[in-house]
Structure 1
Amino acid sequence: MRHFLMSLMGATLIGLASQSASAQEIQIRYSDDVLEEFSETYGDREKEVLEKALRERLIKTIEKDGLNISRIDLLIEDISPNHPTFEQVSNTPGLDQFRSVSIGGAKLIGTSYDLNGEIITESESRLFSSSIRDARHGSTWSDAKRAFTAFSRRLSKDVRAS
């Protein structure tokens, strides 16, 4: 019985620790131009994929670097895929999702806040491929996801420097 209670307490503590580690509030907004691009070209379902990837990268960086951030407000100012999205392929007969490539990437601007709601720092990162050759073998949003990683690192560096 004692062993059971200790296991139960341990599981509860692990659950609480993981809950607080991912308790950071991450608000993601889009510039008007980007919203229009999703609505008219990329398809709104792509935003879910990108938001999930961005949140995962930010939380991973925050936890790995032990940052004390309560909230992050992000603006995706610009974003481009490396390959056509499902929506683009559906709307454009003859468009090849795998052979059609373009220079992708993203520009992000973010503000991080401490537990008191005070601004810790403002961060900005822009990363787009410099060559079409880089885009051939990646996924639809591979350069944008690399930009998310670069932004996460920039944010961490800015927070540690403040």
Structure 2
Amino acid sequence: MGPSKRSAGPKDDIAANAAPPHGTPLPNAPVPATPLPATPSMAPRPRATSTQRVYSPGGCGCALLMAPVVAAGIGLAALSLGLALLALIALIAAIVLTVREIKRTRSGAGARTGFVIAATVLYVLSLPYLGLFSWFWFVESEPPLKGVVCS
């Protein structure tokens, strides 16, 4: 090959001093007595002792981190279901009291103030909770996310 037509500059000095590609011997380098292997040796690495290991849950890390949150969610769901059951029992009791008092007053007896107040209190305590419970459990609930996977 002939001489280059472009002038030598600092880039040419950097390229000339750069290391040759892997496996190419350096100019003026001593030749080893035994040939170098083409690939690095794949000797087995020593196993780490138990004091050097770092805990890594692997694929179950998401589940381990979310376990307390899921447990709290299940507890809150059980609590709200229990309160809904109590509110439903209170509503049934209020309806029973109302029906008995209506039958009693139609037969000619006077209404008992205590039963009227008790039925009113049971309605006031049970209906708002059952309304909110029904809204949040059946109307406002979102469908589960599809295709979301913890990795």
Q: TM-score, normalised by structure 1?
A: 0.21
Q: TM-score, normalised by structure 2?
A: 0.23
Structure showing the higher helix proportion among its residues: 2
Structure showing the higher strand proportion among its residues: 1
